Every structure is written in structure tokens, then in C-alpha cells.
Structure 1
Amino acid sequence: MPMITYVEHNGTPHTVASPDGISLMEAATLNKVPGIEGDCGGFCACGTCHCYIAAEDAARLPAMHELERATLDFAYDVDSRSRLSCQIPVTPALDGIIVHLPARQY
């Protein structure tokens, strides 16, 4: 299982093992990682699973589609590293990735 590290805004890390095929959001919520809400359940409709992915890890992710880009318009403190964790499936290629979380989701 890929190991994913989520880092809260205050710097607290949470490393979890995630099965392939679920999203980064699902892996976080299943493991009760603070900082990812996922209010819409992963349908790319709310932006409450906003996260930051370092530029060096971005190549490991699927390309952002237009709906994700539009939904990010409603997220808090979006920057060039921003992604919606519900739109990123866990694969073996993500083993060891570090996912940073914003100060808040709303």
C-alpha cells in the first residue's frame, strides 16, 4: 500500500497507508486526518478537500480537469500548488508523497 503523508497547516504530519484506487481525500478521511473535510463526498463540488502538492510531485498526479479548476475558485488560499484531493486517485506512483493542507477549508 502506498504511504501518504498529510501535513497539517501547523506542521503536524500524519502518515497513512492507503489502498490503491481510492482518492487522497478518502484516504485522509478514513484515517481521520484533520484538515480535509470532503463535504461533497468526492464529487468535485465543494472544494473542502483542498490541498497543496509540491511542484516536484505534481508530475506524479493526473492532469487537472476543468471542473476541478473551477471548483478551486471557491477554495480558501489557492495557489499554484493547489489541487482537490478528491480528484487524485491513490496509485503506487504516489508512495511517499507529501500532501500539505491549508489553514482552513472554508
Structure 2
Amino acid sequence: MKATWTLPDGSTKTADVAEGVSLMEAAVANNIPDIEGACGGCLSCATCHVFVGEAWLGKVGEVEVFEDAMLDSTDVERTDASRLSCQIKMSAALDGITVTVPSV
């Protein structure tokens, strides 16, 4: 399965992501700039903030309470498309997902 990150400079990077792997883990493994995942995915840092592509918003699931609180502390103002990529687990339904890494 594939995921594509649009970087702040407008370039894109696509990588294979195994089922069950978070987009944050995949980003770190593929050296996606500005995705740190400093907390390792335990919802305590917001350093994996992304904007989910409009076509994928209904497929990534709802923002849970703790994620919602963390999104309020991101370096870039949150939008309706904001998610923490540690909370998006790859699945067949997300094959081809596109996300944008915000410019910090």
C-alpha cells in the first residue's frame, strides 16, 4: 500500500506502508522532513501533524478526544483536515492516501 506526503516546498514523496503501520512511523522510516514523531506515537507531542487530503478525510476515522487536545498545540494552526499522523493506521481502504506536511 502507498502513501504520499506533499512537503512544504511542494515536492512529494511516496512510500510503501504496511498494513497497521501508522503514517507517522512510515514518515520517520522514510525520512519525511518535518515529521518527528518525538513521542513515538503516544499522543504527547503533536510533532507528526499533517493535513489529510480532502478525498481521504472520511476514510481516516474521527479525531478522538486526546488527539483533538494535542492538535490545539501544533506549531501550525489546525484546520478541519488536521490530524496527527501517529493516529492514522494504514489499511487497504487508505491505499493511495495523500497528506500534506505543514510548513513550520
TM-score, normalised to structure 1's length?
0.93
Separation of aligned partners in 1, 2:23 and 2:56: 14
What does residue range 7-22 of structure 1 map to in structure 2 within 5 Å? 7-22=6-21
Tell me, yes or no, if structure 1 residue 72 matches structure 2 residue 67. Answer: no
Tell me, yes or no, if structure 1 residue 3 matches structure 2 residue 6. Answer: no
Tell me, yes or no, if structure 1 residue 23 matches structure 2 residue 46. Answer: no
Q: Equivalent residue of 1:59, what SS?
A: helix
**What is the count of residue pairs matched by the alignment?**
103
Deviation at 1:51, TM superposition (A): 0.2
Separation of aligned partners in 2, 1:95 and 1:83: 17
Deviation at 1:55, TM superposition (A): 2.6
Residue identity in the other structure for 2:92: P
- Residues 1-24 of structure 1 show CA distances to partners (whole Å, capped at 9, x for unaligned) of x11000111111000001101100
Deviation at 1:38, TM superposition (A): 0.5
Unmatched tracts of structure 1, length 5 or more: none
Tell me, yes or no, if structure 1 residue 89 matches structure 2 residue 93. Answer: no
Separation of aligned partners in 2, 1:54 and 1:76: 19
Separation of aligned partners in 2, 1:83 and 1:97: 13
Q: Equivalent residue of 2:59, what SS?
A: coil
What does residue range 23-42 of structure 1 map to in structure 2 within 5 Å? 23-42=22-41
TM-score, normalised to structure 2's length?
0.94
Deviation at 1:56, TM superposition (A): 2.2
Residue identity in the other structure for 1:29: V
Residue identity in the other structure for 2:32: V
Tell me, yes or no, if structure 1 residue 50 matches structure 2 residue 18. Answer: no
Identity, in percent, stands at 39
Task: Identify the range of structure 1 (10-19 vs 51-60) with the bigger mean alpha-carbon deviation.
Answer: 51-60
Unmatched tracts of structure 2, length 5 or more: none
Q: Equivalent residue of 1:98, what SS?
A: strand
Q: Which residue of the partner structure matches residue 63 of structure 1?
A: 62
